[in-house]
Structure 1
């Protein structure tokens, strides 16, 4: 079911691409879904203070009046 040659626009391009190269179109959809999930996961990680671990590889010394002291995990 190929798109008509007289049709123009994004939907016609999508239909034509889906009929001519379905592997590329399907892969593109999966790539967009994967990137969206990655961005949402990264936002969730940083919103929940994901870089503040209880056990660290590198230690940092903070002064008692530093505002970051309240966020340190015990």
Structure 2
């Protein structure tokens, strides 16, 4: 009978018990998840906006003026 009541515990109850017993671990886990989410968003945004422009700086690249990649080149 004890196993049946233990299995009916909700996630909220487990988080509350964890916060009472080990608040450092629960807080750091939450902060780590937020950090991973922000890092994923930043990497995704960096890739979408063509943030890596080094490939044009290492070697000479000749492009035609009507090439759509020309507008992405920056003179950093």
TM-score for both structures, normalised by structure 2 = 0.65
Q: Which runs of 5+ in 1 are unaligned?
A: none
* Cross-structure match for 1:38: 39
Stretches of 4+ aligned residues off by more than 2 angstroms: 53-56, 60-64, 66-74
CA distance in structure 2 between the partners assigned to 1:11 and 1:60 by the alignment: 58
Larger relative CO (CA 8 A, sep 6+): 1 or 2? 1
CA RMSD of aligned residues (A): 2.7
Deviation at 1:71, TM superposition (A): 3.9
Normalized per residue, which structure has more helix? 2
Q: Which runs of 5+ in 2 are unaligned?
A: none
CA distance in structure 2 between the partners assigned to 1:49 and 1:13 by the alignment: 43
Figure out how many residues of one structure are paired with residues of the other and give that number: 68
* Cross-structure match for 1:17: 18
TM-score for both structures, normalised by structure 1 = 0.67
